[in-house]
Chains A and B, each alone.
Chain A
Amino acid sequence: MKTDGAIAIEGGRLIDPAAGLDGRHDLLLDGGVVRAVDKPGAFRSAPVERRIDARGRWVVPGLIDLHCHLREPGYEYKETVASGAAAAVAGGFTAVACMANTDPVNDSAAVTRFILERAAAAALARVHPIGAVSQGLRGERLAEIGEMRAAGIVAVSDDGQPVADAALMRHALEYCRMFGIAVIDHAEDPGLCAGGAMHEGATSHRLGLKGIPAAAEEAMVGRDLLLAQLTGGRLHVAHASTRGTVELVRAAKARGVRVTAEVTPHHLTLTDEAVAEYDGNAKMKPPLRTADDRRALAEGLADGTIDAIATDHAPHHRDEKAVEFEAAAFGVVGLETALALSLRLVEQRVLDPARWVRRLSTAPAEILGVAGGTLRAGAPADVVLIDPDAEWTVEAAGLRSKSKNSPFLGWAMKGRASCTIVAGRVVYEHSTAASERRDG
C-alpha cells in the first residue's frame, strides 16, 4: 500500500503551541509537509489517499527527543539505530538526537554519515547525530566539529562523561558559536562522583553504597554557566537532577546567559528510594535524587527554567544489570515510557497540554535547530496522535527497544501514541484490537 500520498487527519484536538492553536482543527499532509490546518470538515472533499479518524485523540507535532543513546556503531547487542528508531516512533517520537559515545565514537564525519545511513535505511524516526566535543571522548583535544557539522550533527557533547578540563569546555563553547550549535553538558565533577553508584543521602548511607552528592552536578553546572557567560556560547544542560541545578540555570537565564536545560521523565517520577533493594534498573547518571529535588525539577519545568523533557534513553543488556549494584551499568531505557510518564505532569496540573507539547517537541526542535515542533503549513509532516486516556502496563515483551532496562516494568500507564507519522508516512500505528486481546 502506498502511504506517502496525502493524509487528512480529522476530528482531533490539535495542539500546536508554536502556532497558538489548541482546539478542533483538521490537518492535511501532503508531499512530506503540512499542507494546511483548517476547521473541522474542511478537508472532507480533498482528494487524499487516507483519512485518519482522530476523534478522542490529541494531534500534536511529533515529539523530539534531544538526548538518547542508539549504541550503533559498536554496541549493537544493546540497541541499533533501527531498533532505537522503532522504539522512538512507538513512543510518539518522530525525531531523536543520539549521543556520541558509540564505538568508534562519533567524533568524525565518517561516523556521523554512517549513523545517518543507518537511520535512512530504517526509515522510521528522523535521527540527528550529536558529535563528540573531544576526540575519542578523552577530554583532551577538540573533535573535528566543523567536519561533523557539515555531515549533519546538530550539537556536540561528550555525554556519558563530563568535560573535566574547563579550558577545553571554554574553547568548545567559543568554537561552536561559529556553527550556531549548542554544547550539551553532562555535568558531574569527576572527583566528587568517583566510585559513586547512587545519590548521596540517607538511602545511600542505609544501603552502604558510595554516593554522588548533588554538588557533583551543581559544581560543574555552575562552572559551565560562567563559561557560557564568558564566551557567549550556547550551553544546554543535560539531565538536570537537582534543585541547585534548577536554581543556577534560573539565575543564569535571568542575567541573559544563553542556556537551555532538559530533565528526564525518570528524574521527574522517581527518587533515590527506588534503589531500595539494589535494583540495577534504578541506577543511572545522574542518579535519582530526593523528593525535594523532584519537586524543584517540576517547578523548573513549569516556569520554563527547564526547557525540555528528554529521555536519556540508555539501553543496556540484562547481563550488564543483573550484577552487583555497584558493578551494574548506568542508564535506563525511556523512549517508550516518556510520553505516558510526562503526561502525569499534565494530570497533576504541573503542565497544561500546550506546555507539555512545547517541552517535548517545540523546545527540542529549537534547541537542536531542526525543523519540526509545529504543525504550521510548510512544516515537516511529523505528527503524533495521542490517546490520552489509553491505559496500559509496561511489559518487557512489549518494548521495541532491544534492551528492557526500565525501572517502570509493571507500572500502570495512562496515555500513548496511537499513530506516528514521519514526513507524511505512517510509521507506527497502535493496534487497539491486538492490545485488548493482550491486556485481557
Chain B
Amino acid sequence: MPFTQRHLLGLEGLPAEEIVHVLDTAQSFVEISERDIKKVPTLRGKTVINLFYEASTRTRTSFEIAAKRLSADTINISAATSSAQKGETLADTARNLEAMRPDAIVIRHPASGAPHLLARAVSSPVINAGDGAHEHPTQALLDLFTIREKKGRIEGLEVAIVGDVLHSRVARSNLHGLRALGARVRLVGPPTLVPEGFGGSGVSIHHDLKTGIAGADVVMMLRIQHERQGANYFPSVEEYSRLFGLDRAALADAKPDVVILHPGPMNRGIEISSEVADGPYSLILDQVTNGVAVRMALLYLLAARGRGEPEREAEERASS
C-alpha cells in the first residue's frame, strides 16, 4: 500500500500498511548516511522550511540533516528570530510562507493542533515535529523503526510507556503507532499523570513501576518536566524518581532481552539512571541515528509529490 497522506499531522488513524511503508522506505535510506558522500539528488530543487516555535536540538537538526542528505534547500525559522516575536499570528505566518512556495513545512509548536491550523492555510505538505501535548509522529515512527530493527517485529510485543503520559506527545503518537502495528501497550506512572481510561480500551494502566514493566519487551521512558512539580502533579522530583525512576533493579522483572528507549533530552538520575541509559539494553542513540532515515523517508514521500491546494480555500470554493 502506498503512502496516501498529504500531511503528517499525527499517527492517529494512520493505517498500519502506511506506517509499515514509511518504515520500509526509511530502511532504504539508512545506507545513505553510512556513505562517505552522504547525499543523493532526490529532492534537488525542493525547498523545506523548518518552522520551530519551541526549542529543539535533536528534532530540528535531524530534519535539517535529512533534508540536506536528499539535496533539498532548507530554511530554519525559530520563534525567537521570526515575526512571531513581532506579534504575527501563525495563520499570517502560514500565508506568507505559502506565498514563497515551499515544498514542505516542518513545524514544532507549543500549542496542540497548531500543525492543523497551518495545514488548512498552505498547499505544501505539513510535517508535525511535535505540537503541544498532542503528537510527535516522527518520533514515534523512529521509535517503531528502532524497535522493529532490534526485535524483528512489533506485533505481539509488550511495550511499557513510563512517566508523564498526560503531557506527552511522544506517548500519544507511540500509543497510536504501536497499537496499529499490534503491540500491547501499558502506561505506567502516577494517577495524576496517567489518568484512568487514557488511551481507551485495550491499554492497561499501572501505577507501580515494577508490575508495570514486568515481562515487558520494550520500556519507553518519558522525560519528566520539573515544572509539573509546581503544579502539584507530584510532590517532588526526588519522590517521583524513587517511585518511577528506571534503574537496574527496577528492570529485574522485565524480559531478559528488554530494550530501553527515551526520546530525549534525558534527566539522568531522575527518570532514568545513567547505568540504564548507557547500558547494553539502551537503544537511545540508535533512535537518534534512525531518526534521520525516518525523516528522509517522510520528506521523500511527502515533498517529492509536490504542492496541492490549501484545504480551507478548496472548501470555500466548493461551497460557493
Do B12 and A278 touch (CB < 8 A)? no
Do A208 and B195 touch (CB < 8 A)? no
Chain B stretch 263-310: residues in CB contact (< 8 A) with chain A? none
Do B116 and A206 touch (CB < 8 A)? no
Within the complex, which residue of A205, A277, A322, A324 is in contact with B114, where a contact is CB–CB below 8 Å?
A: A324
B135 within 8 A of A: yes
Do B89 and A208 touch (CB < 8 A)? no
- Which among B36-44, B126-134, B152-160, B221-229 touches the partner chain? B126-134
Do B113 and A410 touch (CB < 8 A)? no
B45 within 8 A of A: no
B109 within 8 A of A: yes
Q: How far is the CA of A267 from the CA of B12 in the complex (A)?
A: 27
B169 within 8 A of A: yes
Contacts of A207 in B (CB 8 A): 112-113, 134
Q: Which residue of B lies closest to A197 (CB)?
A: B112
Within the complex, which residue of B113, B172, B198, B319 is in contact with A325, where a contact is CB–CB below 8 Å?
A: B113
Do B195 and A323 touch (CB < 8 A)? no
Known contacts A323-B117, A324-B109, A326-B112; is A205 also within 8 Å of B134 by CB? no
Do A327 and B195 touch (CB < 8 A)? no
Contacts of B132 in A (CB 8 A): 208-209, 326
A412 within 8 A of B: no
Contacts of B198 in A (CB 8 A): 205
Q: How far is the CA of A277 from the CA of B126 in the complex (A)?
A: 15
Interface residues as binary, A293-333 with B (CB distance below 8 Å gives 1, 0 otherwise): 00000000000000000000000000100111111000000
Distance to closest chain B CB from A212 (angstroms): 14
Chain A stretch 164-208: residues in CB contact (< 8 A) with chain B? 202, 205-208
Q: How far is the CA of A210 from the CA of B12 in the complex (A)?
A: 19
Do B200 and A208 touch (CB < 8 A)? no
Q: Which residue of B lies closest to A211 (CB)?
A: B195
Q: How far is the CA of A326 from the CA of B90 in the complex (A)?
A: 13
Do B111 and A324 touch (CB < 8 A)? yes
Q: What count of chain B residues pass the 8 Å CB interface test?
A: 25
Distance to closest chain B CB from A326 (angstroms): 5
Interface residues as binary, B162-199 with A (CB distance below 8 Å gives 1, 0 otherwise): 00001001001000000000000000000000010111
Q: How far is the CA of A439 from the CA of B251 in the complex (A)?
A: 67
Do B112 and A278 touch (CB < 8 A)? yes
Contacts of A278 in B (CB 8 A): 112-113, 116-117
Distance to closest chain B CB from A288 (angstroms): 16
Within the complex, which residue of B91, B172, B197 is in contact with A322, where a contact is CB–CB below 8 Å?
A: B91
Do A206 and B117 touch (CB < 8 A)? no
Contacts of B114 in A (CB 8 A): 324
Do A277 and B112 touch (CB < 8 A)? no
Contacts of B169 in A (CB 8 A): 208
Within the complex, which residue of A209, A210, A319, A325 is in contact with B89, where a contact is CB–CB below 8 Å?
A: A319
Q: How far is the CA of A277 from the CA of B166 in the complex (A)?
A: 19
Q: How far is the CA of A323 from the CA of B89 in the complex (A)?
A: 7
Contacts of A327 in B (CB 8 A): 111
Chain B stretch 86-144: residues in CB contact (< 8 A) with chain A? 89-91, 109, 111-114, 116-117, 131-135
Chain B residues at the A interface, C-beta cutoff of 8 Å: 12, 89-91, 109, 111-114, 116-117, 131-135, 166, 169, 172, 195, 197-200, 319
Provide 23 A-B residue pairs closer than 8 Å at the C-beta atoms, listed in order of the A residue. Answer: A202-B200, A205-B166, A205-B197, A206-B12, A207-B134, A208-B132, A208-B133, A208-B135, A208-B172, A209-B112, A209-B132, A209-B133, A278-B116, A319-B89, A322-B117, A323-B89, A324-B109, A324-B111, A324-B113, A324-B114, A326-B111, A326-B112, A327-B111
Apart from A202-B200, A205-B197: 8 A-B pairs, beta carbons within 8 A:
A205-B195, A206-B12, A207-B112, A208-B132, A209-B134, A277-B116, A324-B90, A324-B111
